[in-house]
Structure 1
Amino acid sequence: MAGRNRQRVFQERKEPLQLYGYRMNAFGIRFVSRMLRPYLESPTDRNHALSVTVKVAIGLRFLATGKMQLCNGDDFGVSQPTVSRVVTQFINALTMPQIVARFIKFPRSDAEVRLNQIGFHAIAGFPGIVGVIDGTHIRIVAPSQNEADFVNRKQFHSINVQMVFDHRCKIID
């Protein structure tokens, strides 16, 4: 019977908003889904394409829980390779310059700078502060190229990230 096409079997998919572990409520998931729709929407429904909401839920759940892709796949009724592709699509969509600019913006005008200075002065009495800076190491899986470049002083693989916050604890850089 070589050459005969077998009927494809698709796992039953669960309603993503009925699952838990997103560190975000259903309203937040819908907000992110609307925002990322242009970047995540499948052009057709061929092969039972995942909805944008399911893709967002898979991406959020992976980032929020750190669960293995296989476990997330089981939870959503999709394969591990599908979870891998969706997480990559989700992160790429989240890091699009148009999306980042909606939430992270360094003060550019004199009025914005002055507002931050007033806010920090009200909190701690420090004059002239526009933002506070901190950094941390985010643990990563050892890369296959330039592996030694990613070993930090505590001898684990990481990337060094830095953030700047305003007086309201919003990321500005």
Structure 2
Amino acid sequence: MEGERRRRWILISSVLWSTQQLILKTGTEWEVMLNMGDYTFAGHFRVTKPQFEYLQMKLQENGIEKEHSQGLPPVPVTKKVLMFLWYMANQNSFREISDKFDVSQSSTHWIILVVLNIICTMGTTFISWPNTCEKAASAAAFHRLCGLSGVIGAIDGCHTRVQRPHIRGGDYMNRKAFYSILLQGIVDERERFIDIFAGPPGRVHDARMLRASDFYTTWQENMDEYSLLGDSAYIGQAFPFVITPKRDNGALPEADQLQNSNISHGRVVVEQAFGKMKCKWRRLRDLQNTRIDVVVMITMAACFLHNMCIGASEICQEHPHGCPKQGDENE
């Protein structure tokens, strides 16, 4: 009986092994992805086909080209853009992306880095500070949203998990006890980023991050007579352009309680922006083995893609009633 079981196990093992050898890369027919229905395409790549075509056009304008590698046929620009979007929208490894698109792992890694570098030079294509007319429109929209006058945006910080860096690693341990880099986002009433600052270590306080940002050096010119909504992290700081809630010690007057409630209602746009961005661009959830400089580029790229995709008609396929906020990462 023992000998029979052993022979059966050897036979099964040989069959399984031969089956593994027949598994081929799935990317030889990658063009079929372009023939997906609109809903299916958006489900996989997190963009509509018109948005994909727009991104491809902008990347081509900024220098992305076909490249030969070790005598192999060049990788088409369309394929590069699909690979980049797949990388940003999923948590697959480079090996899995290599298999899916029939490109070597080294070329896959190189293509992703090239596209990241290019897209990070295109900031003003996707994010810009509002002009005078846009500020007035935002102020009117925020007044309808929360009853506060003169508000054109909400500001907050967001954490992205990283592996402990080799240099000054302790600086990246945040108060939630995990390693992270910070993203400062200023968001308008449409949940679009109008300014970002990415890269400070996780232990940096939101107020200190604001002071270190380029925005702080030009806030008077940018803000005019308008204001931003901020949370308690900005209380007691010298930020005259940030409206913050009053500290509630249990005896807060009714008028101040109403003001706090209005600020909270207005600030929801920045929380929802972070939530939607992390829900759609899932690469932000898995950056444990990524260099810090690349993490910063990925974070910026996610903000750009968020703005490119955001719209009144956009509904998350998985969360039609609103993307959940990652409470431990968006504080």
TM over 0.5: yes
Q: Deviations over 1:60-110 (max 9, x none)?
A: 1011002111101100001221111111111111111xx221221112x43
- Cα 1:82–1:44, aligned 2, differ >3 Å: closer, same or farther? closer
Partner residue, 1:3:
none
Q: Say yes or no: does 1:103 pair with 2:119.
A: no
Aligned length: 161
- The counterpart of 1:116, out of the listed 134, 138, 147, is 138
Match of 2:34 in 1: 17
Q: Bigger relative contact order, structure 1 or 2, given CA contacts below 8 A and separation 6+?
A: 2
- 1:108-156 deviation per Cα after TM superposition (whole angstroms, max 9, x unaligned): x433322211111122211110111122101123333332222222232
Instruction: Tell me the equivalent position of 1:33.
Output: 56
The answer to whether the 8 A contact 1:42-1:49 is kept is yes
Cα RMSD (Å) of the superposition? Answer: 2.3
**Structure 1: which amino acid aligns with 2:100?**
D
Q: What does residue 154 of structure 1 align with? A: 176
Match of 2:100 in 1: 75
Q: Does the CA-based 8 Å contact 1:142-1:150 persist in structure 2?
A: yes
For 1:170, the equivalent position in structure 2 comes to 192
Question: Pairwise mapping of residues 108-147 of structure 1 onto structure 2 (< 5 A)?
Answer: 109-147=131-169
Code of the residue aligned with 2:48 in structure 1: it is N
Aligned to 2:76: 51
Q: Which deviates the most, 24-33 or 115-124?
A: 24-33
Unaligned runs of 5+ in 1: 1-10
Q: Gaps (5+ residues) in structure 2?
A: 1-26, 196-331
Greater Rg by CA: 2
- After superposition, the C-alpha distances for 1:8-42 in whole angstroms (9 at most, x for unaligned) are xxx83622525752112333222211110132113
Whose helix proportion is higher, 1 or 2?
Answer: 2
- Indicate whether 1:62 and 2:84 are aligned: no
TM-score computed with the length of structure 2 as normaliser:
0.45
State the distance in 2 between where 1:65 and 1:146 align: 29
Going from structure 1 to structure 2, the CA distance change for 1:13 and 1:74 (only over 3 Å counts) comes to same
Between the aligned partners of 2:83 and 2:75, the Cα distance in structure 1 is: 10
- Aligned partner of 2:198 in structure 1 is none
Give the TM-score of the pair, scaled to structure 1: 0.81
